[in-house]
Amino acid sequence: MCGITGWIDREIDLSGARIILEQMTATLTNRGPDAEGYWYSSRAALGHRRLSVVDPEGGAQPMIRQQGDCTYVIVYNGELYNTPELRRELEVRGHRFRGHSDTEVLLASYIEWGGQCVEHFNGIFAFGIWSESAQSLFMARDRMGVKPLFFARRGSAFIFGSELKALLAHPLVKPEVNEEGLAEIFGLGPARTPGQGVFKDVQELRPGYRLLYNDQGVHISRYWNLVSEPHRDDLHTTVHRVRELLEDSISRQLVADVPVCTLLSGGLDSSALSTFASLAYKKNRMGSLHTYSIDYVDNDRYFKASAFQPNADAPWVKVMSDFLGSQHHYFTVDTPMLVEALKTALLARDLPGMADVDSSLYLFCREIKKGATVALSGECADEVFGGYPWFHQEDALNANTFPWSQATRERADLLSPELRRAVPLEEYVAARYRETIEEVPRLPGEDPLEARRREMFYLNIVWFMQTLLDRKDRMSMATGLEVRVPFCDHRLVEYVWNVPWSIKSFNDREKGLLRLALAGVLPEEVLERRKSPYPKTHNPAYLSAVKTLLQDILDDPSSPLLELIDISTVRSMLQGEGDHFARPWFGQLMTGPQLFAYLYQLNHWLNEYHVSIKVD
């Protein structure tokens, strides 16, 4: 994995733009701690930071290839999991390779197939390829959106990067936020509208999209989408196919020239990928698999079961690590560490995020990095197979809004009266919801309830899954750790998309289909364990700490947050008046303590990024 950035300009000679490009590239050092590289021509300047995972000697970037009179230069962040097959096909077509990196295969694929190359890829990627002869830039992002890619146009300049901070390091991109950006932060955050970069006139290339920038301007097109069609396979065939696809995905994603591990919570998803990974290790005589889990100081004292978090992970981690015979590493986070890392997590994401859910993941990834460079994670199984409570609760299914974020009115109450009038949160959120529903791939003649469930799956894949992938990428890459997500294999997602709900929820269980596919693979008690999300702290010391942080902000008249919020409403929340945000206001984990931390992060963001608010 890596960090990429670039600047294309048709009016300025960029061969002398070294200082600016180096500043942009330097912001991505954590993503690529192993090496840096630059390439310049009169119209293009490309920068790269490298995390060496495959072919350390032959995969340096920017990578340059000559084809006849044409010069192609690539900067690339990602991994191709079908590199061997692509390489063989390209060799038959006359291409020759100097190393064994997927970067070289990707670039040769573009030279061979042009913009259609992305349709040949199985992997996670965000890349830019400059054609010197055509004076054009081609960019693309993987189907699921595992790897990020932001861009902005400023006059004759086209600027792009893996993270927002790379764009903001360019003098033409100002940290300005208008009404739309504020609506994203207060109404949808920590989610973002697909393609929205929050800062004014900054965009993110959407998953499954490609972009061509040339003399005619910017041309964006979709190369992949889910296709709705009748599911023809019976139950037995469906179960077999799911297991086959999952096992193949995990096997492909174990390939690396550096140490690989898995994240293990003892839940269905992480246990499945750890088991298949362990079997592959034993089959190939690769030694014992290393597994990692996270917990919090005193959670054994303070954990309280709820509908959103029915049980703690620790006992289940022990069951699975014993079952696997893995070399397991327990990591325990204390409250002061968690609170201190809130700022670091913000800087990694460039936006207010999931508060301690982010900061704990950052600390976890930092610990894992001490022993591994690549980790496999069970992210996205819930979106693909229907694991969240809102897939099963009738009120959530019929809420006519984003089911993981049903407190828009309460969010609006946090705004100052002036801002509430200028930024109508409820209208904004409703519009974003309707836009997404309108683009759902329909199946003609489908039963209305089944059609509604299809909408629910689409909402989760396009929105909630993106939030979690965004979190996973930023927190892991901030520590130089590459995290792979086998449940995001597009072949698996495409297949399960059309499986009817009666099979997905077999035996009236969340992820019933996945449980069937894993029968005989996992211990029975793990196979039947109720879904429990990524763990959070239940220590009252955390609530006390974030209350103090927010109280200090309210007491400081220079705090930029004060101009945006209704101070009396927030004060009453801090004093425990009323039942504010006792239930999650986002996802399954973010209640009152996470709201206080989110507002704290928001204030720090306004300060640290020197954000200018432009509201008409």
Cα separation values, 534 from 67, 145, 296, 529, 587, Å:
48, 20, 12, 14, 11
Q: What are phi and psi of 408, to 5 degrees?
A: -65, -40
Judged on CB neighbours under 10 Å (0-12, 13-18, 19+), 172 is: middle
Report the C-alpha gap between 284 and 554 in whole angstroms.
Answer: 58
Contact 125, 1 (CB under 8 A): no
- H/E stretch holding 411 reads helix 408-412
2 counts as catalytic: yes
Q: Which residues contact 558 (CB under 8 A, 6 or more apart)?
A: none
DSSP SS3 for 72: strand
What single DSSP character describes residue 57?
Answer: T
Residue 255 sits at the vertex; the CA angle it makes with 253 and 260, to the nearest 5 degrees, is 85
Give, for 474, the enclosing helix (H) or strand (E).
helix 465-477
**Cα atoms in the Cβ-side hemisphere of radius 13 Å centred on 461:** 28
**Cβ atoms of residues 311 and 530 within 8 Å:** yes
DSSP 462: I
Alpha carbons 156 and 89: distance in angstroms, whole number: 39
**Partners of 64 in beta bridges:** 73
Query: Which of 2, 261, 380, 488 is labelled catalytic?
Result: 2
The residues that are catalytic are 2
